[in-house]
Homo-oligomer: A and B are copies of this chain.
Amino acid sequence: MAQARRRRRAERPRGGGAAIPRLPWRKLRNPLPPIEVLSADQVEAIHEASLQVLARAGMKVTDDEARALLRSAGAEVDEAEQMVRFDPGLVEESVAKAPAEFTIRARNPAKNATIGGNHVNFAPVGGPSFVSDLDRGRRAGTLAELADFMKLVQCFDVISVAGVSPFEPLDLPPQTRHLDTYEAVLRWTDKVWSTWLLGAGRARDGIAMAAIVHGLTPEQVAAQPLTYGNINTNSPRLIDGPMAQGAMTFARARQPVIVTPFTLAGAMAPATVAGALVEQNAEALAGITLVQVASPGAPVIYGGFTSNVDMKTGAPAFGTPEQTQAAQATGQLCRRYGLPYRSSNTNASNCADAQAAYESEMSLWGAVMGHANLIFHSAGWLEGGLTASFEKLIIDVEMLQMLSEYLQPVVVDEDTLAVEAIAGVPPAGHYFGEAHTLARYETAFYSPLVSDWRNFETWSEDGGRDAAQRANAIWKQLLKDYEPPPLDPAVDEELTAYVAKRKEAIGTSDDAVDR
């Protein structure tokens, strides 16, 4: 066991930056029991309150097809108000149909991702409009920089899932930029990737391109998840047309849909952790019910994103104590329902400083010890999600790698207990030259990526660079040395042709995307 661990650690990823230490690929599990901040009774109270909200107040659903589906399943629908009220039985039956665990195939089969149980998957930041680094500052995202960001995502095996758009490529037309983004993630990474669920068209394009990569017909896709997508409810209590269409399209293709209410306590949810969890839970269950009604048994993931705002200014806050509590409480709700759980690594800092790190750690301990299975925004998120930072990406990878190592079981056996070694070292001696030490000195402990453990004098003489400055040098070196994962030329050609064909069909028409 100790031998196996050492071997794993000694491997180095192929491709760029060989001199930069990184953890090798690992199907990460959390062997520790989750931290539970709620009692079983409190979980039930939140569950019951959510059902009350869904039954009495309901959700507004602005998509006609979704409302019709829900009505036919037994929900009470007010067409004039577009309000859907859910019978508790419908919700509980629907949620019970969803699988507790499933595996999403990656184009590199070694990197398939299992979602559920005690599996932990880290996905990079997604969604910002801006990108930043120490050299060029903060600016609008472009496709070229998105490709660079994706290449870095590929460089780190601890980022087990590639996501899709670490930031928006704002240099491209909005109607077709999803195609370029999908192509970039499929070309520069070989990991599980995500599709945009903003309308049926973008969802179908994701499915079609996944089918190309795996050499399947779109019909065959339904046999196994090949990608995943996330919808956010427009909290409070609204599921809009594009989100509903995206979710239903994915559900029918049996691709996993994450339903994530955007419940910042004090703004889009009550100013209490319990109340925000009720709001989140009601909206998540409504979205999951829609998915199950559209396609019973389709894979879904419960998304928790409850944090709070600064009550004095309304500014969003992340990595707060309340977010940590909510993340662990959400894990309890997910386990109650037997659903996989998505959480996030967030912070509200404007630069990659101590605040960015401690808020991220509070998020990560909330998510990881809440037993989240898929952790969005794990690497690169800054400014409350408005910016993707190249330096924060590197610093986050260090934090993720440290957590991944922390989750490796402590090996306790005769060899590691080292009684003979201890007896052999004289009082006030040292272990540096001991056989027990030399046998494992290369792989005994985690080797850091960014952390600088040199003494103050050496560090000062070498420029006294802080973690962000060191991270800057690391991502540049990795990009310089990057080598793309192999892609079958026939698949490459087919992908390119698909994107070209769809771009021609869509043009600059908003409507054509979904036709």
Contacts and interface: CB of A to CB of B under 8 A. Distances in A.
B399 A56 contact: no
Contact of A317 (B60, B314, B405, B445): B445
Contact of A399 (B315, B358, B455): B358
* Shortest Cβ-Cβ A-B pairs, 7 listed: A275-B418, A361-B361, A60-B427, A357-B357, A321-B405, A270-B418, A353-B466
A428 B236 contact: yes
Given A282-B422, A430-B267, A445-B266, A406 B314 contact: no
A402 B322 CA distance: 9
B467 A308 contact: no
A241 to B, nearest CB: 13
Contacts of A282: 422
A80 to B, nearest CB: 14
Given A32-B37, A315-B454, A358-B357, A60 B428 contact: yes
A447 B308 CA distance: 11
Contacts of A436: 270-271, 275
Given A416-B274, A456-B138, A279 B422 contact: yes
Nearest to A382: B456
Interface stretch (A140-148, A212-220, A344-352, A497-505): A344-352
A65 interface: no
Interface stretch (A45-53, A156-164, A288-296, A484-492): A45-53
A45 B321 contact: no
Interface in A426-471: 426-432, 434, 436-437, 440-442, 444-448, 450-456, 459-460, 464, 466-468
Give the interface size bracket for A toward B. Answer: 35 or more
A506 interface: no
20 contacts: A46-B412, A46-B417, A57-B422, A236-B430, A237-B427, A266-B431, A268-B430, A271-B440, A271-B441, A272-B440, A274-B412, A275-B418, A275-B436, A317-B453, A322-B405, A322-B445, A350-B454, A351-B466, A354-B356, A365-B365
A315 to B, nearest CB: 5
A455 B193 CA distance: 30
A19 interface: no
Oligomeric state, in number of copies? 2
Given A266-B437, A386-B456, A53 B362 contact: no
Interface in A329-382: 329, 348-362, 365, 369
A418 B273 CA distance: 10
Contacts of A329: 410
A382 B406 CA distance: 22
A391 to B, nearest CB: 9
Interface of A: 2, 32-33, 35-38, 42, 45-46, 49, 52-53, 56-57, 59-60, 83, 138, 234-238, 265-275, 278-279, 282, 308-317, 320-322, 324-325, 329, 348-362, 365, 369, 383-384, 386-387, 395, 398-399, 402-403, 405-406, 408-413, 415-419, 421-423, 425-432, 434, 436-437, 440-442, 444-448, 450-456, 459-460, 464, 466-468
Contacts of A271: 431, 436-437, 440-441, 444-445
A350 B441 contact: no
Given A56-B423, A236-B428, A311-B442, A321 B406 contact: yes
Contacts of A398: 358
Contact of A359 (B315, B355, B422, B451): B451
A383 B454 CA distance: 9
Nearest to A276: B418
A320 B402 contact: yes
Contacts of A412: 38, 42, 45-46, 274
Contacts of A423: 53, 56-57
B311 A445 contact: yes
A442 B83 CA distance: 33
B49 A419 contact: yes
